[in-house]
Amino acid sequence: MSQFTPWSATFGGVLIGLAAVLLYRLNGRVAGISGIASGMLSVNPESKVWNYMFLLGMLLGPFLYAVFTGKLPAIEFNTSHPVIVIAGLLVGLGTKLGSGCTSGHGICGLARLSPRSLVSVFVFMFVAILVVSLV
- How far apart CA 123 and CA 131 sit, in angstroms, is 12
Q: Return the domain boundaries, the chain.
A: 79-135
pLDDT digits (tens, 9 = 90+) for 8-34: 889 988 988 898 888 888 888 888 888
Least confident residue range of 2-6, 52-56, 65-69: 2-6
The pTM is what?
0.67
Torsion of CA 53, 58, 119, 26, to 10 degrees: -50
pLDDT digits (tens, 9 = 90+) for 86-110: 988 888 888 888 888 888 888 888 8
